[in-house]
Amino acid sequence: MTLHAMIPIPGDLHARYNRDSVGRDWLASLPGLISAALDRWQLSVDLAPGAEPWNGHGALVVPVLRSGAPAALKVAFPHEEALVERHALALWNGRGAVRLLASDDGSCSMLLERLDASCWLQDVPLDEARDVWGSIMRELSIPPDDRLEWRAFDHVAATAERWSDELPAEWERLDRPFPRWLLEAALEVCQTRGAVGRRSGTDVLVHTDLHFMNILATTTAERQSLRRDYLAIDPQPQIGEAEFAVAPILWNRIHDLPRTGPEAGLLERCQDFSHAAGLDPEVARQWSIAREVQNALWYAAKPGHGGDLARSLWVASTLAGSTLAGLPPAHDLPDPGEAA
């Protein structure tokens, strides 16, 4: 049996990329990409017989050993966020985020320090999760300097400017799937925060996908060092206002909101997590409206995502001050990924 034949492709990753020819080509190339990375960095696979490697939405992560030390080999589908991930990790250099040990741009592969994939912030009580998230956000929010890696990232304000054109066009194309006032609330954020963000002078490196499942515990060996107990992964990095990063912790773990008054609980969570990270809760609320309206339009265009659409509309409209009628109760909304 060849070395790469010992590494099975997880079913959900295979199903996701088996839908079109580009994805199927990437799946077919994975064994060769893995084998080449093992040779390039002189790695051995550290996977129990019959066990599957880890995977996220767009990457395979294989536990490996390099000179007997644990590490993780990540091979990503070459999409935009994955291509710039290595630059963000290099800038953070292990502070608040997983440490990058080596990378190969051509194959979209990285060698990373190994974290504990079985222990993430998703399962931690929210009070503790808030403090961990806030601490990590403070570490990740570094200002730009003269290092070349900074040139790789889009600006949050440019994203907002693009959304100013794209959101209304998509809303019309999809036959106006929610009230106009909610679209206008998002557009106001894009126009005002986009302009402010361009001239505020508060740019930092932003982990735009810092939800609970993208924060993993360090391994036992790391816990014995001076490193923090949790580190971020999968940054989808941009430059801009740090408050842009708050939204994912609002659209995740909705079931943990109070059953009495979940709407007030969502606004309180926005305030609490923002304060824990030293951020402006009002700016975080505004960016979160825009991000969830953009998510809602993405889900509205995808068959089978009705539950995700309802969740995004509940979060966006609640943050905007008037929860839309006709949506399921908060605790009946699916978690991200649950409805697809």
- Angle at CA 99, nearest 5°, toward 213 and 295? 35
Give CATH superfamily name and number for 4-113.
Phosphorylase Kinase; domain 1 (3.30.200.20)
Give the chain's count of helices (H) and strands (E). Answer: 11, 11
Is a pLDDT exceeding 90 seen at residue 199?
no
Is a pLDDT exceeding 90 seen at residue 198?
no
Give me the residue spans of the domains in the chain.
4-113, 119-332
Using CA atoms, how far apart are residues 44 and 131, in angstroms rounded to an integer? 37
Active site residue 209: yes
Using CA atoms, how far apart are residues 135 and 13, in angstroms rounded to an integer? 32
Handedness of CA 181, 287, 213, 240 (dihedral sign): positive
Q: Give the residue, 113 or 194, on which the prediction is more confident.
A: 113
| Per-residue model confidence (pLDDT) at position 197 | 64
Using CA atoms, how far apart are residues 237 and 281, in angstroms rounded to an integer? 21
- Amino acid symbol at 31: P
Q: Which of 20-29, 100-109, 215-224, 244-253 has the lowest mean pLDDT?
A: 215-224
| Per-residue model confidence (pLDDT) at position 56 | 81
Could you name the CATH architecture of 119-332? Alpha-Beta Complex (3.90)
Q: Give the residue, 321 or 194, on which the prediction is more confident.
A: 321
Q: Which of 25-34, 183-192, 230-239 has the lowest mean pLDDT?
A: 25-34
Give tens-digit pLDDT for 276-329.
Answer: 999 999 999 999 999 999 999 999 999 889 999 999 999 999 999 999 999 999
Is a pLDDT exceeding 50 seen at residue 226?
no
The one catalytic residue in 203, 209, 272, 308 is 209
Q: Give the residue, 257 or 303, on which the prediction is more confident.
A: 257
Give tens-digit pLDDT for 136-166.
Answer: 999 999 999 999 999 999 999 999 999 999 9
- pLDDT range class, residue 2, cuts 50, 70, 90: very low
| Per-residue model confidence (pLDDT) at position 55 | 87
- pLDDT range class, residue 131, cuts 50, 70, 90: very high
